[in-house]
Amino acid sequence: MTEVASILHADLDSFYASVEQRDNPRLRNRPVIVGAGVVLAASYEAKAYGVRSAMNGGQARMLCPHAIVVPPRMETYSEASKAVFEVFHDFTPLVEPLSPDEAFLDVSGATKLLGSPAQIAADLRSQVLADVGLAISVGVARTKFLAKVASAQAKPDGMIVVEPDRERAFLHPLPVEVLWGVGPVTSAKLRDHGVETVGDLAASGGAELQGLLGSHAGRHLRALAHNRDPRPVDNSRRDRSMGAQRALGQRVRTREELRTELLGLAEKVAARLRKAERVTRTVTVRYRNADHERESRSRTLVEPSASTQLLTATADDLLLTLVDGPHGPGSRLGRVGCSLIGITFSGLGRADAVQLALRFPEEGRSTERLDGLVDDIRQRWGSKAVARASLIRRSEGIEVLGRPTALDA
DNA sequence: TCTGGGGTCCTAGGACCC
DNA sequence: TCTGGGGTCCTAGGACCC
């Protein structure tokens, strides 16, 4: 946490809809909805009628009958996102992406060269508009959390700088829902207890909140309400999981159709995994029945892998535990139905780290060689890698060497 | 009008080890 | 044989975010 407000949260306004308006002049100043079945994004003109993202398409058209509905163009959005992040990196190397249209920037090291954080934020906004043609809102504050709240308040196409002496006056009158981590469930609990604003939350007792929300969430939200958020902007984060899912219609699926669907998804994600040069430790199959109740089954592999064959076979096994009931193959599927099937790979590591661990047997077991390898790993991947390496060293057994663990990326 | 697709983080119980 | 604490890993589920 810095002493001055030098963390920026930059957030593109109605990203997909803005790209459509940028590329097609006829859509400008008109209500635009991206996505037909479900609203992926809505322009501000459509939002004025109550249209929200994730809303059902039919409901959105009822609220705003004259809206123009366009199909999504994901590749175009991806290019626009890449271009915006290039602009971010022109201002500072400390960029932490949150999503394709959102990032934190720490500009504390750039002020000598580029001016005050407020000046940098203003320049960032005009540069993104000039280079990519999109409006971006920016919040500037001492903490990540407050910068994010500020950018949300600055929308559309604005910026807010929260100076340290104005934090409380800015934050406390806002509704609790602006806090990161307060969704419908938590919001209802808090309001039942008379907590409506961030100021109410800050005034509540810690023990009371922890009793209501659980120990972690209680402590976390109380800290945010007091603007205590020590998390630094981290530009080294990597994805922790990778997955794909597919919603299925009303039609009843057979066991075989479901398997085909899932194995297709597994192949697709395994290919993405290999392209990213990563391996997974845990395979999870997600399932939603006809009543939209969710279930999942997961399995941790003996060793990390990105092999399509192993991952699809594991997915297949897990699926069968979900669909096969006591009355024979697929009998449970017949009873509960299926409206969504998905797969997630988690516990991701670097593919090259596994290969490094596999070098062990060839190098023998002499202490010097092990020490050298530990040093090598420490230099490349830091303390977490050392912890894994010392485990291997302590046991000195072939059974551990044969089961390398993916080092965290 | 019954509900997309991509993620993150946390909890709680059980197995297992020291 | 019974008892206990501390720690890690795994699994299933839930809340939340864009």
d(CA A402, CA A357): 9
pLDDT, mean of residues A81-88: 96
Res. A374 pLDDT band, cuts 50 70 90 = low
Q: How many domains does chain A have?
A: 3
d(CA A59, CA A56): 5
d(CA A206, CA A203): 9
d(CA A39, CA A59): 10
Considering only CA atoms, name the residue closest to the C1' of nucleotide B12. A214
Cβ atoms A142, A164 nearer than 8 A? yes
For residues A60 and A200, membership in a common domain is answered with no
Q: What CATH number should be reported for the domain holding residue A55? A: 3.30.70.270
For residues A8 and A155, membership in a common domain is answered with yes
Residue A11 has pLDDT above 60, yes or no: yes
Between the CA of A277 and the C1' of B7, what is the distance in angstroms?
19
How far CA A331 is from CA of A247, A295, A324, in Å, comes to: 21, 16, 6
Q: Letter for the amino acid at A8?
A: L
pLDDT digits (tens, 9 = 90+) for A17-53: 999 999 999 999 999 999 878 899 999 999 999 998 8
Residue that the structure tokens 């022109």 belong to: A90
Residue A372 has pLDDT above 80, yes or no: no
Q: What CATH number should be reported for the domain holding residue A368? A: 3.30.1490.100
d(CA A193, CA A187): 10
pLDDT digits (tens, 9 = 90+) for A336-351: 899 999 999 999 988 8
For residues A265 and A137, membership in a common domain is answered with no
Q: Is residue A384 part of a domain?
A: yes
pLDDT, mean of residues A1-9: 83
Within 260-289 of chain A, which residues have Cβ less than 7 Å from strand C? 281-282
Within 84-113 of chain A, which residues have Cβ less than 7 Å from strand C? 98-99, 101-102
Q: Is residue A283 part of a domain?
A: yes
For residues A249 and A349, membership in a common domain is answered with yes
Instruction: Choose, from A75, A102, A167, A399, the residue flagged as catalytic.
Output: A102
Q: Is residue A402 part of a domain?
A: no
A79 carries an active-site annotation: no
pLDDT, mean of residues A319-329: 90
pLDDT, mean of residues A393-408: 37
Q: Is residue A166 part of a domain?
A: no
Cβ atoms A247, A261 nearer than 8 A? no
Residue A409 has pLDDT above 60, yes or no: no
For residues A310 and A379, membership in a common domain is answered with yes
DSSP per-residue codes, A241-308: EEEEEEE--SSPPPHHHHHHHHHHHHHHHHHHHHHTTEEEEEEEEEEE-TT--EEEEEEEEEEEE--H
Q: What percent of chain A has pLDDT over 90?
A: 66
Cβ atoms A233, A10 nearer than 8 A? no
Q: Which contacts qualify for A60-65: CB closer than 8 Å, 24 or more apart? A: A60/A33, A61/A33, A64/A31, A64/A33
For residues A221 and A292, membership in a common domain is answered with no
For residues A322 and A182, membership in a common domain is answered with no
Considering only CA atoms, name the residue closest to the C1' of nucleotide C9. A300
Tell me the whole-structure pTM to 2 decimals.
0.85
Could you give the 3-state DSSP secondary structure of residue A397? coil
Q: Is residue A132 part of a domain?
A: yes
Burial A354-384 (b: 16+ CB within 10 A, else e): bebbeebeeeeeeeeebeebbeebbeebeee
Please report the pLDDT score of residue A54 as a whole number.
84
For residues A310 and A354, membership in a common domain is answered with yes
Q: What CATH number should be reported for the domain holding residue A177? A: 1.10.150.20
Residue that the structure tokens 């972690």 belong to: A216
C1' nearest to CA of A12: which nucleotide? C18
Q: Is residue A399 part of a domain?
A: no
For residues A56 and A77, membership in a common domain is answered with yes
For residues A248 and A381, membership in a common domain is answered with yes
For A95, the enclosing helix (H) or strand (E) is: strand A95-99
Domain holding A155, by residue range, is 1-107+121-141+149-160
pLDDT digits (tens, 9 = 90+) for A169-199: 999 999 999 998 899 899 999 999 999 999 9
What is the rounded end-to-end Cα distance, in angstroms, of chain A?
A: 25
For residues A195 and A343, membership in a common domain is answered with no
For residues A198 and A266, membership in a common domain is answered with no
Cβ atoms A379, A270 nearer than 8 A? no
Q: Is residue A358 part of a domain?
A: yes
Q: Is residue A284 part of a domain?
A: yes
